[in-house]
Chains A and B, each alone.
Chain A
Amino acid sequence: MAKQNNVSTPFWRDNRIIPILLQILFVIIVLVTGGFLINNALNGLARQGMEVGFGFLNGTASFNITEALIDYQPTDTYKRAVLVGILNTIKVSVIGVIFATLIGVFVGISRLSTNWLVQKIAGLYIEIFRNTPLLVQIFIWYFAVFLQLPQVKESITIGSFHLSNRGASIPWFEANSGTVIWIILFLLGIVLAFTLWRKMLKSQITSGKRKYPFVWAIGSLVASLVIAFIITQQGPANITVPVLGNFNFEGGHTLTPEFLAILIGLTVYTATYIAEIVRGGILSVSKGQVEAAKALGVKSSTIMRLVIFPQAIRIIIPPVTSQYLNLTKNSSLAIAVGYADLVFVGNTTLNQTGRAVEMVLIMILVYLTLSLLTSWFMNYFNKKTQIVER
């Protein structure tokens, strides 16, 4: 204390050094703990005579997967089985997201209906399905609904749709010789429609005269489809209708009870969350906006489309994104009813080969990638709808 002029702060009291020391300490702790755990794991695996590695993925899977988007035989490799699982996860998630959004928006708007009864029904639906666990709901759909349906022979039939305990058989499309041409012309038509729409809209804005951009766009799309019909002389695809064969329905497309249970479970559950988000988003648009639009004499459907919706969507997108992610993650519950998604295939592989670490790692990586892709896409969409601030 006596010599003050040449005293420098000791390093353990230096505000610049303490954080660095703390972090070094933290790193050491993490490394030591991690090293200890990994060392244990390696020792344990060595005792069982196993090494960590992904070579086992080339082995023969030898378990069957009834529901696959790509060709799959039990003689195929584990790699292909995992791929089938990933595709099944994506399939149920994408379809689930679409339906959940449709139902969610519908219920969310119903919740704000001026009709008291409709409002209460929507509220009841939300309170019931939101507050019961998803897994219980999936079990109800699977064990108590779909598996209790009548046998194939006595299936419930509405038109060409058949519902039995083997699932739902529906008419489906079958590619014919003209399908490729149809698809190409359809895509061309879309591109043409979009460019025409932008061009006409631009010239409408600059010239101030009506140019009917929408009519032009639709017209060009229809024209390209007409050309496709003239070239191929047939429809874009043949429709096959399920017909009762000896044991099961043949033709058409059969949705298994497992797929239906998980899809309906996910959809109904996630829709309740989306409905609440949509409701919140619409309520967040200030009343003055609507009143101002009304004062300008805009009709109510246009108010919804051009005033409420663009403002509400900004509030809605971020939380809805996380609901989409939740739906994707919740699709892993498929394992409970035996739908061959990633976790199901992963678990089967894990049980057959004992490769716990590798399989869990693969599952984590796939889900992280899916999450990243979804949030990346939704962020892009979000940016497009945000206010452009001056």
Chain B
Amino acid sequence: MSSSLKPEESVKQTLEPPKSTLGINGWLKKNLFNSFFNSILTVVSVLVIYFILKGSITWVFTTAQWAVVTENYRLFMVGQYTIDQLWRVWTCLGFVSLLFGLSAGIWKGTIRNLSIVLMLLYLVHTIVPFVSSTGKMWLAINIAIILAGYFIGPRLPKSKAITLVGWFISFPLIIFLLNGFGVFSPVKTNIWGGLLLTLLISVVAILGSFPIGILLALGRTSKLPIIKYFCITYIEIIRGIPLITVFFMAQIMIPLFLPEGFEINNVIRVMIGATLFTAAYMAENVRGGLQSLQRGQFEAAKAIGLNPVHSMAFIIMPQALRAVIPAIVGQSISMFKDTTLVAIVGLIDLLGIAQTVKANPEFLGRHMEVYVFIALVYWVIAYSMSYSSRRLEKSLGVGER
């Protein structure tokens, strides 16, 4: 480097890497300015980012009037759910928090990250001014529950079994609590709304489509021609038509097909439609998993004398399903996003609430605020799902064998 090196110094000197590959400058040179074309791209991108950021930040902090969101916050979350029965929703949330906490303590990994996100969400809600003080109390309790679950979980005897059972009974329990079914004062499904309804429809559709999808997939791969073609017809027809027509059918045709005097509530009808629709897609995912298995697995199961049911349950399905977990999660995400379509057939899910809130003369013209808020809610949930799916994929080593 310097030309006036003394002889003894030049012996000691070891060559350093050229300056241009080190530090911030090196990184910039390598990643942003490694060619003339890339330098132009970088400058253009910086300009684009600058204008978009400047525009959105000014809008969020000065132009936008968030009162439309903060004043209707409860509506967005639970819709018209009877106010003095809200403790039931909170209890359900508490139960879910407990399960998250326990699972986070036991299994660590992805579920722990999700629990942290959940806790952060609760924390944000305890800080913001527009949540009522009762709400804040419940949120604080929920945070405590997650933490308690996290620390107790690993120390509890048989904690894994308890937690798994908890997850299994959670859904019926929540439906029971929310509806009342005679034990508590009834809250009819037609006043369920907001994020609560969105989540319920997606969970029902995803859970319900799973067994139907597996049956359809087995039917499609079966050797019995009538069953096979029945399943193929069902799957292909459903996959060929848009979800909205399925919802129209559910809303208009289900009542038509039922015997006189027998009625199903429109929330349930939509849930049936969503389940039957997702089942066709689920079936194709499961079929993909079945096809990915080697013939040897089927033959080995037969060779050790398992009957068809047992070989399916213990040999084939566990492997087939494991191979398609990413696809199944992807399907769940798209179902979750597609629940917005129920707003078109008149339900008041999160998007439906947004439409009604917007129609309130007090908040005329506040379109962007409302939509950006609900888009953010959808985004957080969908992104957490896709994040955990990616993590799960890695930890299961799918596609690495």
Contact = CB atoms under 8 A, between A and B. Distances in A.
A132 B379 contact: yes
B41 interface: yes
Interface in A19-52: 19, 22-23, 26-27, 30, 37-38, 40-41, 43-45, 47
A62 interface: no
B378 A116 contact: no
B371 A140 contact: yes
B340 A133 contact: yes
A332 B244 contact: yes
Contacts of A45: 256
B378 A132 contact: yes
Contact of B244 (A47, A114, A333): A333
B241 A363 contact: yes
B297 interface: no
Nearest to A328: B242
Interface in B325-365: 333, 337-341, 343-344, 351, 354, 358, 365
B256 A116 contact: no
Contact of B351 (A41, A133, A335): A133
B114 to A, nearest CB: 15
Contacts of B173: none
Given A115-B32, A133-B378, A144-B368, A367 B257 contact: no
A262 to B, nearest CB: 13
B190 interface: no
A139 B351 contact: yes
A128 interface: yes
Nearest to A27: B226
Contact of A343 (B244, B358, B368): B244
Contacts of B21: none
B235 to A, nearest CB: 13
Given A128-B379, A132-B375, A360 B248 contact: yes
Nearest to A368: B240
A121 B45 contact: yes
Contacts of B375: 132-133, 136-137, 140
A113 interface: yes
Given A121-B45, A132-B382, A134-B337, A41 B241 contact: no
Interface string B142-173: 00000000000000000000000000000000
Given A343-B244, A364-B241, A368-B240, A350 B252 contact: yes
A330 interface: yes
B84 interface: no
B73 interface: no
Contacts of B368: 140, 144, 148
A315 to B, nearest CB: 14
Contacts, number: 160
A211 interface: no
B82 interface: no
Contact of A115 (B42, B242, B354, B379): B42
A40 B256 contact: yes
B69 to A, nearest CB: 14
Interface string A292-316: 0000000000000000000000000
A370 B197 CA distance: 33
A30 B230 CA distance: 10
Interface in B368-392: 368, 371-372, 374-375, 378-379, 382-383, 386
Nearest to A343: B244
Interface in B201-258: 223-227, 230, 237, 239-245, 248-249, 252-253, 256-258
B41 A19 contact: no
A43 B351 CA distance: 36
A143 interface: yes
B49 interface: yes
Contact of B230 (A26, A325, A347): A26
Interface in A117-170: 117-118, 121, 127-128, 131-137, 139-140, 143-144, 147-148
Given A121-B45, A343-B245, A363-B245, A116 B31 contact: yes
A265 to B, nearest CB: 12
B367 A143 contact: yes
Given A140-B375, A332-B245, A148 B367 contact: yes
B260 interface: yes
B38 interface: yes
B257 A37 contact: yes
B226 A26 contact: yes
B113 interface: no
B46 interface: yes
B223 A19 contact: yes
B249 A360 contact: yes
Contact of A131 (B239, B242, B383): B383
B241 A115 contact: no
A329 interface: yes
B266 to A, nearest CB: 15
A106 to B, nearest CB: 13
A114 B340 contact: no
Contacts of B45: 115, 117-118, 121
B41 A113 contact: yes
Given A329-B242, A332-B245, A367-B245, A26 B31 contact: no
A135 B351 contact: yes
Given A114-B34, A136-B351, A372 B252 contact: no
A256 interface: no
B42 A117 contact: yes
B242 A330 contact: yes
A364 B257 contact: no
B48 interface: yes
Interface string A321-332: 000010001101
Nearest to B27: A116
A133 B240 contact: no
A149 to B, nearest CB: 12
Contacts of A37: 257
A139 B378 contact: no
A116 B244 contact: no
Contact of A367 (B41, B241, B379): B241
B259 interface: yes
A382 interface: no
A115 to B, nearest CB: 5
B258 A40 contact: yes
A239 interface: no
A131 B252 contact: no
6 contacts: A19-B224, A22-B224, A40-B257, A113-B38, A121-B45, A148-B365
Closest 9 CB pairs between A and B? A116-B31, A332-B242, A144-B367, A131-B382, A329-B242, A133-B337, A144-B368, A371-B240, A135-B340
